[in-house]
Amino acid sequence: MQNETIVVIDFGGQYNQLIARRVREANVYCEVVPYSKPIDDIKSLDPKGIIFTGGPNSVFDEKAPKPDLEVFNLGVPVLGICYGAQLMSMALGGVVHHADTREYGVTDIELDVDTALFKGMQAKNRCLMSHTDKVAELPEGFRIVATTSDCPMAAFENTEKKFYGVQFHPEVNHTPFGKDMIKNFLYDVCGVTGDWTMSDYAKNYIEYAKNKIGDKKALCALSGGVDSSVAAVLLYKAIGKNLTCIFVDHGLLRKDEGDQVEEVFTKQFDINLIRVNCGDVFLAKLKGVTDPETKRKIIGEEFIRVFEKEAKKIGTVDYLVQGTIYPDVIESGTGDAAVIKSHHNVGGLPDYVDFKEIIEPLRNLFKDEVRQLGTELGIPENLVWRQPFPGPGLAIRCIGEITEPRLEILKEADAIFRDEIAKAGLDREINQYFAVITDMRSVGVMGDERTYDYTVALRGVTTTDFMTGEWARIPYDVLDTVSKRIVNEVPHVNRIVYDITSKPPATIEWE
Ligand code: XMP
């Protein structure tokens, strides 16, 4: 399964994954590697082209990440973006100037449309600039192919060596010609044919898994989320009844979710599914617990215990299927992030199950590609487009002690919120939205009666990576309908609030 590959060398830029996605969207496979990756490893990927990302450093910093210069001798085209362009220029004998002020924002740019990069574009265009240093003198053999008023060398090229540098960010939407520019680089400069499509991926993977697994047995932990569902269906198409899925229903799923998962997997696909209904056990373990981290720990441990018990009944399996996706495996170009919450993923089970090998069919795919693949495999839209749902489920949206009646309130309120968001056509625009039941009660009046009931909070965020996010600007009318419906239809709720904090400083989930 070797596709034409572009290697994106990561220098720590915030848009590194976006660059990779732009390449994939152009039907070209690419991998993001840290700048420190040994050159022989890069060579072994047999790249058709290389892209340097931007990065937060100045090329003059003592610790500025630098590429192995051998990368310029591989005989493949290189595109440097922002910091990457400065690095390229400096490495090849050009001069970079340190500036004291940063240029940030959308700027007019004049493109030379006779060059390969800008073929077919409007000469007078717009682009996003975000830099401090800039290239002041080009290396020998290069020429300028785009300028802005602040940045005379906004893009440059050496057509003989096929080296290109752009100071602006072609990967973001603020640069309207950016996607086409990346396509030009891929098709006209690197000469790719575009052999990366999801239908081919599905066909090839099924064939590959059939050969690899043969008539051996595989086991999959199904959470009902997009990733594990797509991984399971893909494997089912390859090995049919030799795949067994264990679905631990911890009772902390959204309203009707457990039944929907069961329905799709057993009715639509005839997958061997073991559903373990153990909501009572989880509730008992969580009795009296209010601390968020303790809740997470209890659920994580109990989940593994239940899974292990079921897996033992099956005996030794040859393969354990996991829904790991590409953003989980990309090594960061620089540094590690601080741990804010101990995330629990149903994927993290290898120590507890008797198996010979892990199989991760989605390891190379971005989330949007996983959804595309899911659609390709015939998984229903509502499952494929499901928003992310945390492993500990509703437990971390039930502030304070988790009790059955409070969980019921939360499930009903959340279902109403989701229903109204879908009716308003916002379900794909808002990346995650849910209800939270707070542990606060307040006074209200219903009819002529005084009430003393719970406050439900609504949360909606727009984000691309879930690392940062903006609170979603849900129209007041929609919020109003949701508020009225919840208070009228769900007993013991008399107040609704909308969370208007972004991440950071808040996190997406409340616990
Ligand atoms: P936070 O709350 O950290 O959440 O801003 C970021 C994203 O991660 C999801 N999340 C989890 N996902 N296991 C998961 O698989 C977890 O324990 C977990 N906690 C949070 C959250 O829903 C959001 O999409």
Q: Which two tokens stand for residue 280?
A: 């009572």
Q: How far is CA 205 from CA 1, 24, 270, 507, in A?
A: 8, 17, 20, 36
CATH number of residue 417's parent domain: 3.30.300.10
Give yes or no: residues 157 and 262 share one domain.
Answer: no
| Average pLDDT, integer, range 115-129 | 96
Task: State residue 15's pLDDT score.
Answer: 83
Domain end position, chosen among 189, 219, 242: 189
pLDDT greater than 90 at residue 16: no
Ligand 1 center to residue 115 CA distance, Å?
Answer: 45
Q: Over the stretch 502-511, which tens digit does the pLDDT of each residue have?
A: 998 999 999 9
For 319-348, b/e burial (b = at least 16 CB within 10 A) is: bbbbbbbbbeebeebbeeeeeeeeebbbbb
Give yes or no: residues 226 and 295 share one domain.
Answer: yes
Task: State residue 346's pLDDT score.
Answer: 44
Instruction: With cut-offs at 50, 70 and 90, classify the pLDDT of residue 395.
Output: very high
Task: State residue 351's pLDDT score.
Answer: 60
Query: Which numbered atom of ligand 1 lies nearest the CA of 342?
Result: 17
Q: Is residue 508 part of a domain?
A: no
Q: Is the dihedral of CA 446, 452, 453, 456 positive or negative?
A: positive
The residues pairing with 433 across neighbouring beta strands, listed in sequence order, are: 460
Q: Which two tokens stand for residue 260?
A: 């929907």
Give yes or no: residues 302 and 435 share one domain.
Answer: no
Q: Is the dihedral of CA 33, 38, 44, 47 positive or negative?
A: positive
Task: Decide if 171 is catalytic.
Answer: yes
Give yes or no: residues 376 and 251 share one domain.
Answer: yes
Give yes or no: residues 150 and 241 share one domain.
Answer: no
| Average pLDDT, integer, range 145-163 | 96
Task: State residue 173's pLDDT score.
Answer: 87
Q: Is residue 389 part of a domain?
A: no
Percent of the chain with pLDDT over 70: 95
pLDDT greater than 70 at residue 294: yes
Alpha-helical runs (H) found in 45-150: 83-91
Give yes or no: residues 173 and 305 share one domain.
Answer: no
Task: State residue 24's pLDDT score.
Answer: 94
Give yes or no: residues 141 and 172 share one domain.
Answer: yes
| Average pLDDT, integer, range 119-141 | 95
Q: Is residue 130 part of a domain?
A: yes
Q: Is residue 194 part of a domain?
A: no
Q: Which two tokens stand for residue 380?
A: 């229903």
Q: Is residue 273 part of a domain?
A: yes
Instruction: With cut-offs at 50, 70 and 90, classify the pLDDT of residue 398.
Output: very high
| Average pLDDT, integer, range 275-297 | 96
Ligand 1 center to residue 389 CA distance, Å?
Answer: 7
Domain with 140 in it: 5-189
Task: Decide if 137 is catalytic.
Answer: no
Task: State residue 347's pLDDT score.
Answer: 42
Place of tokens 């009844």: 241
- Residues having CB closer than 6 A to ligand 1 are 340-341, 343-345, 388, 390-392, 432, 466, 503, 507-509
Report which protein residue has its CA nearest ligand 1's atom 17: 343
Give yes or no: residues 255 and 377 share one domain.
Answer: yes
pLDDT greater than 70 at residue 354: yes
Q: Which of 149, 133, 49 is CA-nearest to residue 90?
A: 133
Distance in angstroms (rounded) separating the CA atoms of residues 460 and 135? 42
Domain end position, chosen among 318, 352, 384: 384
Percent of the chain with pLDDT over 90: 79
Q: Which helix (H) or strand (E) holds 382?
A: helix 381-384
Q: Over the stretch 245-260, which tens digit does the pLDDT of each residue have?
A: 999 999 999 999 999 9
Distance in angstroms (rounded) separating the CA atoms of residues 482 and 317? 47
Ligand 1 center to residue 383 CA distance, Å?
Answer: 18
Report which protein residue has its CA nearest ligand 1's atom 3: 507
| Average pLDDT, integer, range 338-359 | 62
| Average pLDDT, integer, range 474-483 | 98
Report which protein residue has its CA nearest ligand 1's atom 11: 390
Give yes or no: residues 373 and 305 share one domain.
Answer: yes
Domain end position, chosen among 189, 209, 236: 189
Q: How many CA atoms lie within 13 Å of 106's alpha carbon, on the beta-carbon side?
A: 9
Task: State residue 191's pLDDT score.
Answer: 97
Q: How far is CA 338 from CA 231, 344, 345, 467, in A?
A: 29, 16, 18, 12
Q: Of 4, 30, 82, 376, which is the active-site residue?
A: 82
Place of tokens 């599905």: 202
Report which protein residue has its CA nearest ligand 1's atom 16: 343
Q: Is residue 422 part of a domain?
A: yes
Task: Decide if 160 is catalytic.
Answer: no
Instruction: With cut-offs at 50, 70 and 90, classify the pLDDT of residue 223.
Output: confident
Give yes or no: residues 116 and 80 share one domain.
Answer: yes
Task: From 223, 341, 461, give the residue whose CB has the most ligand 1 atoms within 8 Å, as the site to mutate.
Answer: 341
Task: State residue 336's pLDDT score.
Answer: 39
Give yes or no: residues 44 and 143 share one domain.
Answer: yes
Q: Over the stretch 427-451, which tens digit does the pLDDT of each residue have?
A: 999 999 999 999 999 999 988 899 9
Q: Is residue 164 part of a domain?
A: yes
Q: Is residue 505 part of a domain?
A: no
Give yes or no: residues 130 and 206 share one domain.
Answer: no
Ligand 1 center to residue 19 CA distance, Å?
Answer: 24
Task: From 433, 461, 466, give the residue whose CB has the most ligand 1 atoms within 8 Å, as the site to mutate.
Answer: 466
What is the DSSP code (8-state) at residue 396? G
Instruction: With cut-offs at 50, 70 and 90, classify the pLDDT of residue 216.
Output: very high
Is residue 182 within 8 A of residue 144, CB to CB? The reply is: no
Reported in sequence order, the residue ranges of 84-189 that DSSP labels E, i.e. its strands, are 95-97, 103-111, 124-131, 134-137, 143-147, 155-158, 163-166
Q: What is the dihedral of CA 8, 9, 11, 13, to 10 degrees?
A: 0
Instruction: With cut-offs at 50, 70 and 90, classify the pLDDT of residue 335.
Output: very low
CATH number of residue 284's parent domain: 3.40.50.620
Q: Of 169, 398, 420, 511, which is the active-site residue?
A: 169
Ligand 1 center to residue 277 CA distance, Å?
Answer: 23
How many structural domains compose the chain? 3
Task: State residue 327's pLDDT score.
Answer: 79
Instruction: With cut-offs at 50, 70 and 90, classify the pLDDT of residue 272.
Output: very high
Task: State residue 308's pLDDT score.
Answer: 87
| Average pLDDT, integer, range 39-61 | 95
Is residue 111 within 8 A of residue 121, CB to CB? The reply is: yes
Ligand 1 center to residue 95 CA distance, Å?
Answer: 44
Provide the mean pLDDT of the chain.
Answer: 92
